[in-house]
Amino acid sequence: MDSSGSWELPEELRMMRDTIRRFMAEEVKPVEDKLPHDAYTPEPDALVTLQRKARDLGLWCFETPAEHGGAGLSLLGQCVAAEETAKCRMGAYIAGCGAFGFDPPVVIWKGTEHQQRFAREDMANGTKAFVAISEPSGGSDPARAIQTRAERKSDRYVINGTKIWISGASMAKWGIVFARVGESKGRDGITSFVVDKSQPGISLSRIPVIRSYSPYEVHFDNYEVPIEDRLGDEGKGFSFAEEWLVHARPPYAAATIGIAQAALEMAIEWATQRKAFGSTLAEKQAIQWMIADSEVELRAARLLVYQAAWNADKGRDIKVDASIAKVYGTEAAGRVVDRCIQIFGGMGVAQELPLERWYREMRIKRIGEGPSEVHRMVIARDLLGGKRTKG
């Protein structure tokens, strides 16, 4: 809310939203329409062309600070962009199917010039990095579950262990990995490193999942990382990255809202045309209620996302706000897509439309970036611990 008490987005964000909306319709959709239903990225030449056009419009790497070549948006701006760039068939997990570049993990800009070398290449080339936290021993509670070890040997660390569910690992040249140094079993031992995939000791195995864009296991077998690629202090990897991890949640939820909004608009159009029992679906109260409930939930979800982002932009701690936005946004968006499929009937699950694909995506969104149960735990702990964070 601004100082006049208005919930309107600032004008520059509304203009940006409209520009992205046009770009998605005029540039991304025609490229996407030629691709198979489950494709997750355009052909390389088409992607390069899209990226050049987006960059010319200043729509490049929304989170990355302007001094590093990105759009340097506020968190509110990132949420607005995330909602719009998700509105395509490939939706949500790769914003605008990669047209707007891939933000390097923003924590890298806290590192040294040397550590930023790959991120600078990604900014120039529109390529993507990976972030490896989760392990087979558990992803919900990484501070306890991380078993990958980094052993200090004079001027380097030797990393051994396995990461799991790592997005983008196959296309990335580099990544940030969290490993345990020393004997501590909690978060104090965890240290983050920049890892270069071209070096020996890293291998990948693909994990087929509910969608074609697969995550990977990343295996470290005596992988040697020079000390100058340790990101932050030894044992401080978690606190180094924490704010960034929390701030990723509102845009994550915003992207699911974008998909659900696109699904709802399709369902409304269909309901006004399709007839059954002598009248349009739109004339039936059962359908009207599905549409009304969807609108209510999407508006509520969007406001929660905006509130979290707005608080972050004011410099407030948004750990709880981000969990609220993530739980409600991803769950509401899932319900909306489900209802829209119901309104379409058989066509709802046909691959001719994007709905069944979005439905599969939505299922992941309640697990990725922390499962709903973990975010509910964060919210409940805050309330029950008597430290209620004011919204």
What is the set of active-site residues? Answer: 369
Spatial neighbors of 154 by CB under 8 A, at least 6 apart, are none
* Least gap, CB of 141 to ligand FAD (angstroms): 6
Q: Is the CB of 354 or the CB of 368 nearer to ligand FAD?
A: 368
- Report which DSSP code applies to 216: E
CA torsion 121-125-127-129 (nearest 10°) is 10
251: helix, strand or coil: helix
CB of 383 to ligand FAD, least distance (A): 15
- Other CB atoms closer than 10 Å to residue 186's CB: what's the count? 11
Q: Tell me 197's DSSP state.
A: T
Residue nearer to ligand FAD on the CB measure, 60 or 178:
178
Pick out residues in 362-381 that bind ligand FAD (CB under 6 A): 364, 367-368, 370-371, 373-374, 377
| Min CB(138)–ligand FAD separation in Å | 4
Q: Which is nearer to ligand FAD, 138 or 345 (CB)?
A: 138
Please provide residue 377's backbone torsions phi and psi, each rounded to the nearest 5 degrees. Answer: -60, -45
Give the CA distances from residue 163 to residues 108, 253, 381, in Å, rounded to whole numbers and listed in that order.
20, 24, 28
The footprint of ligand FAD on residues 202-241 (CB under 6 A) is 209, 215
Stretch of residues binding ligand FAD (CB under 6 A), selected from 105-113, 153-161, 265-273, 360-368? 360-368
- To ligand FAD, the closest distance from the beta carbon of 269 in angstroms equals 30
**Residue listed under structure tokens 């969007």:** 302
Residues 69-88 that bind ligand FAD (CB under 6 A): none
Closest separation in Å from C-beta 259 to ligand FAD: 15
List b or e across 94-126, with b for residues whose CB sees 16 or more CB atoms inside 10 angstroms.
bbbbbbbbbbbbbbbbebeeebbebbeebbeeb
- Closer to ligand FAD by Cβ: residue 30 or 186: 186
Q: Which stretch binds ligand FAD (CB under 6 A): 98-106, 131-139, 277-285, 311-319?
A: 131-139
CB atoms within 10 A of CB 337: 29
- Residues of this chain that interact with ligand FAD (CB under 6 A) are 131-134, 138-140, 165-167, 209, 215, 364, 367-368, 370-371, 373-374, 377
